[in-house]
Structure 1
């Protein structure tokens, strides 16, 4: 990081919470386990934990994530939102229905079977307020990083996402070959992997 010193003391204090038990061998050191670290950061940055977002809208976390996705990429189909956000397509369909009931999104006129959706004027109002805050939040979050670090972080996260998708798709295929159960969410990961690698 471009300004490491203010973070060393905070990091040392944080790592004290991760002292491994001496009673077991081969423990997993979560403080250096990348999937755990990514999940912790994701938990901290969850829209549901953001008090400013909570004061901007009463939408639940999933509805808000989908509204932001539709505002950024609409008109867009539920399957494309699932692929972009890596969320369960069935819950996306339910959230879109809830947003439509609140008159924040509408189905595109004359659309094909996939029924792309776009924001209504009310949806656009919420979208503008939310993304203004999200952009400010991102800038503050990345403040201690140099431009090179920001670029590298983005590239590494993209690489990690694609490798996670490939790993999970391989595990799904292996489970199916062994006759083990897989859920529709597992099968969706396999479809995403095929779409990414077509």
Structure 2
């Protein structure tokens, strides 16, 4: 296998380099783990938001989001307000402390994003985002098809695979 021409491997390398805890500027702002930072950034960008929506948007499994939410609640960075219809559903928002951290993280992330984007001209950036959209959709489709083949064989699949199937069905309706 030629890993330098293996798309998933190359995407994983870039993902590893861009991990939030790899960036010392970002890591110095808080003692949060990357999953907690991703969830905090998602809440700050879309609040009020439900955990299920964070999982879907970021393609993190719900148990990962749930663990991050527990940490963020314990650190008083977020608040959870019950839904008016279903008390099991909580709408997540940032607290004052959370807003402060969100702004610090956003301010630290923006120059990095601009520096990374600067290697592409506007046309390349547009094509790149279109390619990412296609790759994301195909990856989701492949994983969903694998999970469905297990289900069709009468095999039990783990919760994260069931969630992946829900996401895939949801994305097909959009």
TM class, shorter-chain normalised? over 0.9
The reply on whether 1:118 has 2:93 as its aligned counterpart is: yes
The reply on whether 1:169 has 2:169 as its aligned counterpart is: no
Choose which of 148, 164, 167 in structure 2 pairs with 1:189.
164
Three-state SS of the structure 1 residue aligned to 2:13 is helix
How many residues align? The count is 171
The corresponding residue for 2:35 is 62
Choose which of 88, 104, 110 in structure 1 pairs with 2:61.
88
Counterpart-to-counterpart distance in 1, 2:37 and 2:111: 17
Query: Structure 2 matches for 1:1-198, cutoff 5 A?
Result: 28-108=1-81, 111=84, 112=86, 113-198=88-173
The Cα of 1:114 is off from its aligned counterpart by 1.5
TM-score of the two chains, using structure 1 as the length reference = 0.83
Contact conserved, 1:75 with 1:108, CA < 8 A, in 2?
no
Contact conserved, 2:83 with 2:91, CA < 8 A, in 1?
no
The CA RMSD over aligned residues, in Å, is 1.2
Give a deviation string over 1:57-116, Cα, whole Å, max 9, x none.
111111111000000011111110000011110121121111111110001255433111
Contact conserved, 1:47 with 1:53, CA < 8 A, in 2?
yes
TM-score of the two chains, using structure 2 as the length reference = 0.94
| Deviates further, 59-68 or 174-183 | 174-183
Q: Which runs of 4+ in 1 moved over 6 A?
A: none
The Cα of 1:182 is off from its aligned counterpart by 2.1
Greater Rg over alpha carbons, structure: 1
Where do 5+ consecutive residues of structure 1 fail to align?
1-27
Give a deviation string over 1:132-181, Cα, whole Å, max 9, x none.
11111010012121011111111110111111111111110012212344
Where do 5+ consecutive residues of structure 2 fail to align?
none
